[in-house]
Chains A and B, each alone.
Chain A
């Protein structure tokens, strides 16, 4: 009985691999795009331009205040009404990238704000340009604060990518959902799905923890 189920599960391993591939690809593309966009937004948010900062702040709040599932539905069902045709994959990438960018923007902004003003003033006094200041003085120091939560954010992104199965993308979660219709053993099927995510996410969680410890120590925080 169990053995038969194992056999029929083994038969659907190409599907599972495709699902895992889809999950990894979705996460990877939106991770890269979201990081780039998030850093840009974070720098803009802490820059001098008040208008840009408050527009970004409002957008980040909108995204943080609504469930990701609702965001996906909004993008997938409403953009076509505005005349923008898109398939489920593009909609998923847009939604995930936007989500990642908003959270990373806040992380980067917090990191930049943590750099003492004296550093910026010193850089200014040394005649560094705006871009040099950011690239050579502020960002390298901000990275200490940014890096641990950034990696943690990647884990969240991979997990959130499971929600795009709701618009029919065949990612790992969707594969589990499809397989369970055929092999009625939800415990086993979704345990295996969980294992798939665990393999991808757990090393990142470990990395985040290690970075947190390392950066905390490097920061010279005194443990009382």
Chain B
């Protein structure tokens, strides 16, 4: 039997067993994965309570003791730091994000990024999509005026409100917002380091249930939904 399938089966079994447990599974999720998780969650037979934020903020809250069972980060470094600190286990890449350039007017692409444009991006210090955006700008030798949102969701809002001319956003966002394809450019992945989004099970009383959900994210059914949502 296929190993992944076996995992899914055992996952469903444990999920069924834990169904009806009083507490929902508490999942900390990077903002960019919000819509994808919403779609994936519907196929999961347990109650899940999600909190969204930038990976940096969620990581800080976990370190400070905010009770979460599972952490779906937008990067690999923060989950690894939690593992190194002995507070989490079984890191796994659940999605690889794609960066897009979303624009209000004109043709999105490297030529669009002129110095007179104002572009919103997620905070490169704390958000992987922001870091990828900065790397992309450097590789393209482009220097538009930059404004920084807390996370990729706010960066997208800055542009969609019309206040900024465009934004470096997640492909998942423009897909979930039904943005027409001519208004965004999918940034080639050789322009930035891959946005590997890693999840970890956090130490605590609900480790088993968290592992079940994590295994479910790796199942073929969930993978298909995640791919359709704009990840690789």
Judge: A and B partners, yes or no: no
